[in-house]
Amino acid sequence: MNFSGKTAIVTGGSRGIGRAVCLELARGGANVVLCYAGNEEAARATAAECEALGASVLTVKCDVSDSAQVKTLVDSAITACGRVDILVNNAGITRDGLLMTMKEEDFDAVAATNLKGTFLCMKAVARQMMRQRYGRIVNLSSVVGVRGNAGQVNYAASKAGVIGMTKSLAKELASRGVTVNAIAPGFIETDMTAAMPEAAKTATLASIPMGRLGQAEDVARAIAFLAAEESGYITGQVLCVDGGMAM
In this structure, are residues 87 and 139 in contact, taking their beta carbons and an 8 Å threshold? no
Distance between CA atoms of residues 148 and 213, nearest Å:
18
Length of the chain counted residue by residue:
247
Amino acid at 193: T
The residues assigned a catalytic role are 155
d(CA 22, CA 37): 15
CB 61, CB 40: distance < 8 Å = yes
Looking at residue 40, its amino acid is E
Rg (CA), the chain: 17
